[in-house]
Every structure is written in C-alpha cells, then in structure tokens.
Chains A and B, each alone.
Chain A
C-alpha cells in the first residue's frame, strides 16, 4: 500500500494505542464470528469424525474411493479446461485478426458475433449448445470423447474466444503506432505487418491475461454440475461423494479448497509472468491490476 504511508503520519503513541485497541476489537469480533460458526457446526454434529474421515484418514473405508473419484473429477476438469482454453486461443486470434483487418462493413458480422457471445451468460451458451446440437442433429459424437465434454468445451470456447479476441485487440492497440507505420514504410503488406510485427508483440503482453482467463475457464467447468448433463468434472464428483456419504459441508470444503489452491497458483503465475514481461514498460489493463496486487 504505497498510499498508506502518504495518507497518514507515522503514528504517535496515542494513535498507536488506539490502533492497538482497534486490533484487539477486530480480533475479538473475528474470533467471535469463528466461534459462532464452530459452535453451530458442532451443535449439528458436523465435527463427527465419520463425516471427515473419508477425506482425511487413509485407514477409513471410503478414503481410497473418495480420492479416486476426486482424481478422476480433477482430470475431467483439466481436460475440459485445457481443451477450452486452447480452442479459445485459436478461434479468438482468428476473430481478433478478422475484426482488425476487415473493412468497415466486413467487420459487422465479427463484431456482432463478439457482442452476442460476450453478452450471453456462459451457462446459457452451454445449455444452448447442448440442446440445439441434439435438436439439429449435429454429430457431436464424431468428436473424440464423451458428448457432454464437447457441449461444455464448445460452450466455453464460444464465450472465451470472444474474450481472447478482445484481449488481442487491446494488446495490438497498446503497441506504439510507429510499429505498424514502420512495417508499411518498408513495403510490407497489411497481412505481413499483422503477422510479423504486431501479433508477435501483442502475444507477449497477452500471456498474463491468458493465464488469468484460464482461472475463469477452470471455474466455469464446474457449471457442468449445475446444468447436469452428465459430465463428471470435479464438482459433479463431489456431489456424487456427498450423496453417498451424506457430508455436503465437508465435501464442498475439500472440493472448494482444491479449486482455490489451483486457481491461486495460476493467478500468482500470471502476476509473475506479467512482471517478467513488463521490462519493456508496456502496460496493459492487467498490468495495472497486477501492480495493485503486488502493492497490497
């Protein structure tokens, strides 16, 4: 917090005392909240070892099967997320380039596509892909893997490719104008300028934003559990586990923790990649965010 030191003076003895009192009050309040929660959990028998042991105790009967289901769920989540992010990258770059290189009228369908899928909730897009492909008889089954995987991946790709296209456009827009001008001055065509000058530089600034987008994609794979079309990713597996063991609080706690740990690691990675790449001093939108992150 850089402004923290600016906003107030170095605390004197009286302020220090006041802050100490404030700290104590805050700690008491937080401890009180925790105590209420723990008391509530205890009074409802939520600390019953039977509910926790399948997750924690390797000697428990269900331990192996619980973690096997988690492993399979995690794998399914990873497969869906990585397919979706790779496809989004490919489609998104195509969309972004099409938007930047087509004329005023040629751009209309691309912009329409982008606005459409950016405005739709991604869950609606996924349900639509699922239902419409069945109704229209689109042969999803020709793709490798389960149908449900592809409903999820296609739905996520439609939404995220649009985001990638916008990230790409912002990346190109953040480059100095002289880059494109210099390319045209030495006689490159528009396509060559885009391919060999603008895109390579834009990709560099895009990388952290793409990693952050992966966090969004990972979180969104769990929509499959809400929609319920039978894709057994991590949350759906968790549901399966707590329906058998009757311990939703404990199971959701562990499944949530797994998501949080992975996503936290990814966001840290995004920040460090950002810092490493920002040597050239280019600042993207995420650049400002990341700076805030580190300042805190």
Chain B
C-alpha cells in the first residue's frame, strides 16, 4: 500500500475535488429535477409533455452519451467550457430525470383521500399542495431521492474517467500511467476513496430515513 501512503496528499486533493464535483451536481440536479417534476404535474399540457419527454429520453440514454455529447458535441457548436463544467452539467441533466421520478413517486404515494379531505374542507389548490400533499410527499420521497443521489455520487466516477481532471479517478490514472506505480494498490486507494463517500452517504441516508419515516 506504500504508493497510497506516499501520495496521500494527492489522494486527499483528489478526494476533495470529487466531493466538490458531487456537491455541485447534487445542488444542480435537485433544482433541475424539481423544476421538471413541477412541469410534469402542472395543469399546462405543453409543460407536462415537455417534462415527460425529458424524463423518457434521458432515463433511457447512457450517461456516457450525455457526457460525450457535452465534451465532443458542444465544442462543435462553438460552446467551450472546462471539462469540469461539462461534467457537472452532464451529470445534472442525467440525474434530474431520476430526481423528477423520485419526487413524483413521492407525490403518488400520498393517499388520494388526503387531498380529497383537504379539498372538502375548502382549501385551495396551493393550500392543499403546501399544507397537506407536499409535506407528506417529501417524506416518502426521501428514500428514493437518497438512492438516486448515491447513484449520482458513483456516476461522478464516470465523469472522472471522462477527464474532469484532478479528481480521485484522475489521481489513480496519473499515479499509474505517468508515475508508473502498479495498479492494484493505487486503484485500491481510489476505491477506498469512493467507498468512504458512498458508504457514509448511505449511513446518513439511513439516519434521515429513520427520522422522517412514517407508518402507513
């Protein structure tokens, strides 16, 4: 394991870059996913159609193609940003479709009787949504949202392999190909870095789930 211990500072900075990448993607995908989910339940048919087309297309397309399109397609159109930016954007677009579905499954999980009762006592649409449906929907959306986001954390490695630069994956690549360390210890270090992220995220999620769980 000496290659890892000798280069612990490199691993640390790679770990931080990966985390930074993940945090941007997390915030971005939550926002975009919520907007798309709002489109999908909106009373305007054009927006609903846009939302479901977005989800269907993106959910069935490999993340690699989204990233390839960002990295090799957009420059053809004269759109040039760093691979880090392209990586975050690609991952945000890809993850937004799954966030949207998680939120929607949360709304669908709320018993129709809840909304009926709210309407029966004369609440308006916005009151029904904000006071009755959404608080419950949010609770039941937590487990699927959590697993969507943990999957995103893992997908960040794909963006890393794609070449956002400086992240855990690139550190591994650099140590093996440029500095000639052998693969097994270096990759084990990279794997441990990702395991720290995903396993601790999983533990956090379990805590949050226990807190918001409701008996149905």
Q: Which residues of A contact B (CB under 8 A)?
A: 1-4, 6-8, 11, 19, 22-23, 26-27, 30, 40-41, 44, 46, 115-116, 119-124, 127-128, 131-132, 134-136, 215, 218-220, 222-223, 225-227, 235, 239, 242, 248-249, 252, 255-256, 259-260, 263-264, 267, 288-289, 291-292, 295-296
Contacts and interface: CB of A to CB of B under 8 A. Distances in A.
**Overall SS of chain A's interface:** helix
14 contacts: A3-B133, A119-B199, A131-B176, A227-B161, A235-B68, A249-B76, A252-B65, A252-B69, A256-B65, A259-B60, A259-B62, A259-B65, A291-B108, A296-B52
A187 to B, nearest CB: 37
Among B43, B52, B133, B156, the most chain A Cβ lie within 10 Å of the Cβ of: B43
Contacts of A7: 115, 119, 125, 128-129, 133
Nearest to A239: B68
Given A248-B73, A288-B109, 6 more contacts: A123-B157, A135-B184, A215-B60, A226-B158, A249-B76, A295-B108
Nearest to A159: B154
B195 A116 contact: yes
A30 B65 CA distance: 23
A26 B44 CA distance: 8
Contacts of A223: 64, 158, 161
Nearest to B200: A119
B190 A19 contact: no
A26 B46 contact: yes
Nearest to A131: B183
- Per CB-CB distance, the 7 closest pairs between chain A and chain B, nearest first, are A121-B157, A131-B183, A263-B60, A121-B154, A219-B62, A26-B46, A119-B198
Given A1-B41, A3-B107, A248-B76, A121 B194 contact: yes
B104 interface: yes
